[in-house]
Structure 1
Amino acid sequence: MMSDLGVSLQSLRSVPELKYVNAENVVRYRAIMRFFYQEYKRLKYWMKPEEVWTEVVKWGVLPDYTIEQCLADLEQLAEWGNLASRHDGGRASTLEEYMKKKMQYLLRPYSIEIERLLETLERVTGYGGSLESTLFDSIAEKLFEIRRLAVETSPEAALELWTTLYDAFKRLHENAADYIASLQTAKAEEMMVAESFLVFKDRLTNYLQNFIQALQRSAYKIEGNLENISEGVRDLFLEQVAEAELAKPRLEEMPSKETLLQELHQGWNNLRRWFLGEGNSPSELTLLERATKEAIARIVRSVIRMQERKRSGVSRKKELEHLAGWFARLDNLDDAHRLAGLAFGLFRSRHLQGEDLRHSDRADQSMWDEVPTIQMLRPRGRKRTGKQDTEPVRENEERKRRERESFLQRQAEEWEEISGLIGRGRLRISELGTVPPKTRLRLLQWIGRCSSAPKHAFVTPEGVRIAMLNSDTPERTVLVSEDGELHLPDYELAFALTDAVREVAAAGEGGLPNE
């Protein structure tokens, strides 16, 4: 049974095979399981209790370990599903010996993977990983072979192609992710601020730059091959891979062809998403390139900070005194200019803009013969060199008065027009005759504000609510003005006073606005 997420209930079961890792007698169980795993790698599978007990005692980690405890531990591990057991009656010489319970034990597949994982975890000291640029070329080459041989290749060749391709992809993804993560750790930060990092930084920078160059060189090939492999070619290729996988003789139960094809399609989608992205999200390849460039930038910044820190503590007094002695021994100003150019380089130029007043049209006249353009330069320093005349504060009362009168006039004109429309209540554009340009501009302003408002309505400063009643009308009309005609939808506008304005008018505290 599959859930909505595509995960089977079997994959979410409890794992009793992991109990021995954290059990009460964990040292005894781990010692037995490690012995079974070592013998498994030597191709020795079925083990007798006496052999297990003898070898575990030799290790010296369990000095008081007895054969009875070993038998009990083996039975417990068999009960948890870590070991398989069978009756051992081959060496019995009498019926009594045969009837006496003697067992042999075998390591189960789950336990093999658990021990393999634990052995790997014991060697983990950091993120590890690497940036293998050759994997890009391998992936591009295998994708090109899939494009070229998908129709003609045999199932065995297809399986070999897929295995090589996906193994290279997994190694690239996992190793690159681990290596970039190792550059983000606190240990890496401490290393980048140490003086010894200056010796190591060139190798690290070259390593990252070579990876970036290989990535940029091969990315287009990989993306192009993935784009050119059609769905039909992909499905045919994966069918051949599944056929070759199912053709392998296996003793354990094989998954169905549908399940195997689903896993292969998922792997292909992972490969495609990693290099091409999905939807609007960037691809993992782009993120990897960005992370690598950021790592290079962090390294460069760290080195610059260390070099600046070293230079900041060094006095240059003797160097400057020696350079000053050179200048003092020179008798010619031109030689001093040359020495300054060699010692300090060119100074930053300043671009000045002025009016070109030429007094001659001669094309062969030198620029040094032209009349100079006088340009007044303001001093950069804040210190005032002389007495400056103070400027009085400008009087803007007249300009303010004109602006105020203009605004009140525009407001009065708008209210005069609105007050005439309040009595009508509603207005259609088609009902208007020829209108002056000011009225046309005011109507367009109201239509624009109504169209952008959430409820297609707004309130003017005078307290008049203007609403558009048919914002999505398909009917069209022509608004005729003194300066031309405007084709637009036949909008209907409604005008009404707000409640606050009505209350003020009813209470007699003042008339309508601007009255």
Structure 2
Amino acid sequence: MRQGYSTGVRLSGGELLPNIGPEHLKPLSEFKYLHAENVSRYRLIMRIFYENHMKLRYWLRPLDVHGAVLETGLIQGYTIEQCEQDLQMLHEWGNLECQQDKAKSTSIEEFKKKRFRYQMTAVAVEIERLLDALEQVQGYGGELDAGPLEIIARLLRDIYHRAGEMRPAEDFALWKELQDRFRRLHENAVDYYAQISSTKAEALMQTAAFLTFKEDLRRYLQRFALGLQQFGAQIEGMLRALSPAAVEGFLSSVTQGEMEVPNLEDRRGFDERMAAHREEWASLAAWFMGSDGDESEVVKLERATKEAIGRVVRQALALQEQARAGVSRRRDLSYLARWFMRLQSIEEAHRLGAAVFGLYAPRHFQGEPPRSTDSADCSMWEEAPILRALSPKTRGPRQRLAVSPVKDRATQKAKAMEAWRQAQASARDIERRWLREGTFAIADFDELTVEDRGLLLQWVSRALSKADRRFRDPEGYQIRVEVPQNGERHRISFPDGVMEMPNFRFHIRREGR
């Protein structure tokens, strides 16, 4: 009997194609910008984001993107409105994350315009890198490990001390390991900093759960910063110690070792391979030493690490202050108030207030007040006070409200409670009197009180809201209201007027009887 469907395809050898499911049949919206109508604009925008992403600039505003597009000169007549529309479309496809930029808002109108800034998503980064493993991407990933730095320093020492002594195959193996370590170091560091700068990380830093691992994150960042300071200087020193002739000889040996490996797909000659290796070496040297007066990526990474440590510490302190701010000080203030009440003189109260609250922030007023005497021996405390009217800082003047003491309203509350109890008891007496009637109709009465009218109308309302026209009283009485079929009506007189209503018939019985 067939009990279910297999999750893979059976092959002749008995193996299954693993991990094949419905998720492999759905389209990936992140690839839409590669074949959309305005593909040239979308690809240029994503390339601008990627170049800034690799320079540790993750968030870009529409004005920045628009200026970069015009600077390339590849698209003519490109407007800021078109740029905002393209960014929004890339956000809807999942290539960009957006966040409202509130820092530039100086008025309510500007805040309502919802200016946004954008950041590449993790999948968009991998698409621009042309990697094959897009399905395994979950966030930015990456890690901060100083181990590759130590290995790079060791490999450069081998190049320096053993230049010309190793065979081309050994030089090529050393070169591949050097490039692999360098690429992993750069990509992992860039991805990790993008991760801790993402919206999810910012949202996590706003929660109390961030306090549980903030110390581990701080130590993790500090270890990487120390590794950058220690091994970054060593690598820079080794690169400066290598002469151009030694570098050229090493790259020539690497190219010879690469040529010895048969490769049917790569048909480049010696000169093309040599030029490619020179560019790779120049990128490695610029990453650690800088170029054209620009600081190295090591310095930028160290600065980004210190800024991340500072942000982690500041956010943790803010969360702790927020938690302390929510603690009630009612007990402390109550104890302090009783302490003040026990003092015997105003001088003791002043001393206690100075010890508890300290000095208040003084306010100084400059001017030339008129003096009552010209005597130099007269103290300022003997002079008459000078009155100055202070204008409020608000836009419109507000009238100061008179401070009034809290009045004791216990007597009024007691009277109101007693009146309410009497009203409840009177209403209950009226209800019990009607419950004893059993069965009656509205036509049986010509005059009723206002209280009787309120009770009967309440019963009619409760009964008509039920399908069977009946309900149960809190004391266990079942009340059923019968609606007249012939439309019969009856007029009843009340102290405040005459009311005409249908001749409802009430059936009251005690449950269990």
- Which category describes the TM-score, using the shorter chain as reference length? 0.3 to 0.5
TM-score, normalised to structure 2, is 0.42
TM-score, normalised to structure 1, is 0.42
